Structure 1
Amino acid sequence: MKKIAVVTHDSLNPLVGGGALRTLLVAKELSKRGNEVILFVPSITNSLENMPVVHLPAPRKVRSQVLSAVKFNIRLLFRLLKYAHDVDRFFVHNTIAMPAVLLVAFIRKKKIILDITDIHAEYLRVGNPSIMEKAIRPLLLWLEYFMIRQATKVIVVTESMKQQIVRRKIAEEKIKVIYDGASVERYSPEKEPKAEFNIIHLGTVDKQHGVHYLALAAEKVIKKFPDVCFYIVGDGRELPRVKKIVAEKNLTTNFVFTGYVNHFEVQRYLKKCLIGIIPRPNSLPNNLVITLKLPEYWASGTAVIASRLTGIQEIATDGKNIVFFEPDNPEDLAEKIIYLLENPDFARRLAENGREVVRKFSWPELIKQIAEYFNENR
């Protein structure tokens, strides 16, 4: 039996962040396999699924994200030094938590398995960085790839991400691609009456998610379908901008803004909507991911319209289980939405095909792959 420290900056209770559920499921699987697992995570409880929690305040996504990450790592370092003295291995989700883990693992000569669902420093190219963040962006990029290089093993979520980090001189043989998934059995494909006239964006509303493009596209859609309703399910720094666009165009009656919704409550909104949108801009970091929304939309029987991005194209086929639109083009997005509204039978076929595809991305199977790779002796 090994003692394993599972570390993430995402809150596991409540579940907040795209990688939170993935990390919690990995921790449960490692525990189920007879390991002693201790969680170094943001949480409102002292234990999760019978695993002890060393609580950490989550990094705040306001003002400087860099300073927030620095504060998080200082707190994490002290907790690791106090509570992780007899840990055999570290499982780390994303690089925000890596500086502190890397230092402790180096001192104690322990292995790190790093699970990457985002390369965070790359988002500084497309987000809304502070003056300081712009100035130190080259350093942050170098640091992130340096930390990835130090990991014993690396798990990534797309082939595109694998190739990106290989280009940064990280050994290909220690990288394994394991996609994001969904708890397919938790989702019902059944929809409420008139769901074909409802459209959803599920998840965080930050600049890299491009939700403002959906707001810009809505005006043309509403002119043709006055009763259509857009559900923006989630919160984030760009939400005020999205609300402002909607208000300026007098579209408020066609939008529902729910704010943050617990991961386990989102299904009631998915039941209301036949069409789900992934409007991410065309940028390097967005081309490296599939986003957790895609398998969740598919699992819930929701037809997907998404930006034509490289990572998503690895698992989705245009016209069969998804409809692509040109990234950063609200006019094209509006036309694709209108087409599905005019052709609800086609939208339902897309949803049915997506439901079939997502069975290959069911969490239980994917989490087993992660646990087995974690336990490989190399």
Structure 2
Amino acid sequence: MTSFRKTAAQNVPEGFDLDNHPKVAIIVETTIPPVSRANLRMYWLAREIISQKKALVNMIAPSRDLPSRRSYFIEWIWMNQFPGFGKALYGAFRLPVRLWHFLASIISIVVLEMWYRRAGARGFCAIHAWNPLAGMAAVVAGVIIRRPVFLDFTDFYSDIARTDMPLLSKPLVWLENLVLSRARRVFVVSDVMREHLVANKGLPPDKVIVVPDGTDAETFRPGLDGAAVRRKLGLSEEIPLIIFHGDIKHDDGVDVLLHVLAKVAKVRPDVRLLVLGGGGPYFETVIKPLIDELGLAGNIVSPGWIPHQEVPAYLNACDIGAMTLRATLNHDNYLSFKLFEYWGCGLPVVVTKLKAIGRIVKDGENGLVCPSEDVDAYTNAFLRLIEDRELARRLGAAGRELVEREFDWRQIMKKEVAHYTESVLDLASR
């Protein structure tokens, strides 16, 4: 404990002290700086808590593999790694990996709280988590150390599992319901999701707070060197370049996008689709064979996953952002990071007509909206933006303006941190 306190004390930001400030435990999937888009929301929450000097933040996360385990301060966030298998989160053994991470998160929070108390320092005032499994770890740890749980509920994982892991779909419904009922505050990303939880899950309206997803408007911005990316990819400036960015699962509709691309290519054979991300069994077993079946190998550029800090330059190299999502329970309720990242870089977007996203994307004002899985409608929308550069510029500029005004993380997270009131902070005991 002495070594821990010396290390921590050397790195505590100005205006804080280790003994007298409360701590917030935040459970995340991977390390900070974020190597996963899933961590970004919690990262910006931690930054805002610290910026307002309300509390110190202990982030609880697995190491990428056993040899990489360490704990460190970065941007005044105290990153507490337990021995884990972060690089296997989406692999064949993801279920046992996640179960170990669940248990290790609970143990880590209990041990840290014991360290703080033994040293006479203020401990945790609350535990904050994102997604149902981390939320359940927070609930169990909260019962043990008698602290409230705040939950960021941004997706219906039970609905995602319906196609990805069907055997887990019903257990995940139970898990979601339990975590939602035990959390003191539930932060959701849309009015539609709030209405659903109140009407269908019976949550009290004052418990569910809308805090949308967003992006870092200073990082995701127009004017970056997209030309250098095109040169790296071997693409000239004249080639129309559509981008899909992120994970690829059945509900993301990338198979639909490929059928759309095949029809667009009949009119514009020079069109290219940049697939930034992908990977996983669905990409290998469904998407790759479909590319070959449709004869699109020459129209696809797929560099795979790249470091998050390089993504904005790749977006600046593109002409149109694609979101051909299927209409599902989850997609009707959620917001997508990639929408705000496309907009942040000034790209026009083609999106599916969905409930929550539809309250933000207005057809012909800041994007083009199409019915789910309507290949002809998507095709016409992409061709319209390829041929009408002024329309594309105007829609992209409108999206950028909206991000600056309403969807920058720096402004968004102020609303969430406001719920760390003095009565919550005072729960941190010695």
The reply to whether TM is greater than 0.5 is: yes
Structure 2 counterparts to residues 13-32 of structure 1, below 5 A: 13-17=33-37, 19-32=38-51
1:316 aligns with 2:361: yes
CA contact (8 A) 1:12 1:43 kept: no
* Matched residue, 1:100: 137
Structure 2 counterparts to residues 1-378 of structure 1, below 5 A: 1-17=21-37, 19-34=38-53, 35-42=55-62, 46-47=71-72, 48-56=74-82, 57=84, 58=86, 60-63=89-92, 66-85=95-114, 86-125=123-162, 127-129=163-165, 132-133=167-168, 137-166=169-198, 167-190=200-223, 192=227, 194=237, 197-237=240-280, 238-240=282-284, 241-359=286-404, 360-375=406-421, 377=423
Measure the CA separation in 2 of the matches of 1:279 and 1:51: 36
Measure the CA separation in 2 of the matches of 1:377 and 1:209: 42
In the alignment, structure 2 segments of 5+ residues that lack a partner are: 1-20, 65-69, 115-122, 228-235, 425-430
* CA RMSD across the alignment: 2.1
CA contact (8 A) 2:241 2:319 kept: yes
**Change in CA separation of 1:195 and 1:98 when aligned onto 2, cut-off 3 Å:** farther
**Change in CA separation of 1:225 and 1:256 when aligned onto 2, cut-off 3 Å:** same
Measure the CA separation in 1 of the matches of 2:329 and 2:95: 20
| SS of structure 2 residue aligned to 1:259 | coil
Which digits, 9 at most, give the CA deviation of each residue in 1:173-215, with x for residues without a partner?
1111011111112233236473771100111112222212111
Cα shift at 1:353: 1.0
Cα shift at 1:142: 2.1
CA contact (8 A) 1:113 1:152 kept: yes
| SS of structure 2 residue aligned to 1:327 | coil
Moved more, 283-292 or 23-32: 23-32
CA contact (8 A) 1:321 1:354 kept: yes
Measure the CA separation in 1 of the matches of 2:47 and 2:221: 24
* Percentage of pairs with the same residue: 25
- TM-score of the superposition, structure 1-length normalised? 0.92
Which digits, 9 at most, give the CA deviation of each residue in 1:336-370, with x for residues without a partner?
11121121211111111111111111111112111
Counterpart residue type for residue 50 of structure 1: W
- TM-score of the superposition, structure 2-length normalised? 0.81
CA contact (8 A) 1:157 1:177 kept: yes
**Change in CA separation of 1:155 and 1:173 when aligned onto 2, cut-off 3 Å:** same
Measure the CA separation in 1 of the matches of 2:92 and 2:204: 35
Cα shift at 1:143: 2.1
CA contact (8 A) 1:273 1:302 kept: yes
Counterpart residue type for residue 270 of structure 2: D
Moved more, 259-268 or 302-311: 259-268
Counterpart residue type for residue 105 of structure 2: L
CA contact (8 A) 1:196 1:275 kept: no
Cα shift at 1:377: 4.1
| SS of structure 1 residue aligned to 2:100 | helix
